[in-house]
């Protein structure tokens, strides 16, 4: 069983993951309002990923016989309706999540909580991927712009990425059910 303090920290992170889901759902809705179906689909796929992250942590607490204490999820702030601003906000958000994950890992190490340390390694790796993906998208938006044909190209690319993310999520849930 993990310590009460560790359970509290993981519960807080579950809440952060739920906030992340709301953050991405809000960006998806904004993109829908801008008629950017690919951008909206990408943010919606991110919404689903964040819920999955929260549920992994939920399951970990249950498996560790630790209490799950859900908190309120704050409404995310509205981001300016420019694709560049949306992805700049996304990168800042992911960096904050990375810092929070790293804090949990640091605490696990200080407490010699090897189980939590090992469990959170998946999230550490996931955050590297999350930030790299958003940096890549930002690079494209900065290089090509977020207007006209460039925006159409980025929207189409993000639609393809969202499909891949959906396929990967389907494969992961099928594999975990086996």
**Is the four-CA dihedral 126, 160, 40, 141 of positive or negative sign?**
positive
Give the phi and the psi of residue 30 in degrees, each rounded to 5: -60, -45
Q: Could you tell me which residues come within 8 angstroms of residue 22 by beta carbon, excluding any fewer than 6 positions away?
A: 73, 74, 75, 76
Taking only the tens place, the pLDDT of each residue in 4-17 is 999 999 999 999 99
Instruction: Give yes or no for residue 173 having a pLDDT over 70.
Output: no
Q: What is the pLDDT of residues 73-83, one digit of tens each?
A: 999 988 888 99
CA torsion through residues 61, 22, 173, 45, sign: negative
Q: What whole-number distance in Å separates Cα of residue 57 and Cα of residue 125?
A: 15
């Amino acid at each position: 069983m993990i310590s009460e303090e560790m359970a509290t920290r993981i519960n807080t992170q579950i809440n952060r993951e739920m906030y992340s889901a709301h953050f991405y759902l809000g960006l998806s809705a904004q993109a829908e309002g801008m008629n950017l179906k690919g951008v909206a689909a990408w943010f919606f796929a991110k919404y689903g990923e964040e819920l999955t992250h929260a549920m992994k942590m939920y399951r970990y607490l249950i498996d560790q016989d630790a209490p799950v204490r859900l908190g309120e999820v704050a409404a995310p702030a509205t981001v300016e309706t420019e694709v560049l601003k949306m992805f700049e906000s996304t990168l800042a958000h992911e960096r904050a999540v990375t810092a929070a994950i790293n804090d949990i890992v640091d605490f696990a190490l200080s407490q010699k909580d090897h189980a939590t340390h090992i469990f959170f390694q998946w999230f550490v790796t996931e955050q590297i991927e999350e930030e790299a993906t958003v940096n890549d998208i930002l690079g494209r938006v900065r290089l090509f712009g977020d207007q006209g044909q460039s925006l159409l190209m980025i929207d189409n690319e993000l639609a393809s990425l969202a499909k891949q993310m959906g396929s990967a999520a389907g494969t992961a849930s099928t594999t975990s059910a086996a």
